[in-house]
Structure 1
């Protein structure tokens, strides 16, 4: 099974952000966990981060949204 594309994660994020806070937080946590598994995040490799800046940006966006 192939993983989701970054566009798939973006669509899912856009769907989730309109939920009420408790449900939104749970769904974003799940989305974040999926990304961690698929992209092996968080990583400490500077090379990987430089090559995958869009993935890192999407992951950070999810993290920041959970903190709001």
Structure 2
């Protein structure tokens, strides 16, 4: 899955009528997909982030979009 596809999926979820809980689950699933494809490190790795700025930006966007009720 390309980053553009992840962005598109994010936008679809964001603008959907789903509950915040359902959105949070879908965002978490996309984060898991990104972890597998882009090898997002579990701990902060400044070198990796420097080399993958667009990936980490999308990953953090997904993370910040989740709400926990």
TM-score, normalised by the number of residues in structure 2: 0.80
RMSD of aligned alpha carbons:
1.7
CA distance in 1, matches of 2:39, 2:13: 22
1:57 alignment partner, SS class: helix
2:57 corresponds to 1:60? no
Residue of structure 2 in register with 1:22 after alignment: 21
Q: 1:10 aligns with which of 7, 12, 29?
A: 7
2:66 alignment partner, SS class: helix
The alignment covers a number of residue pairs equal to 65
- Structure 1, gaps ≥5 residues long: none
- Structure 2, gaps ≥5 residues long: none
Runs (4+) of structure 1 exceeding 2 A deviation are 42-48
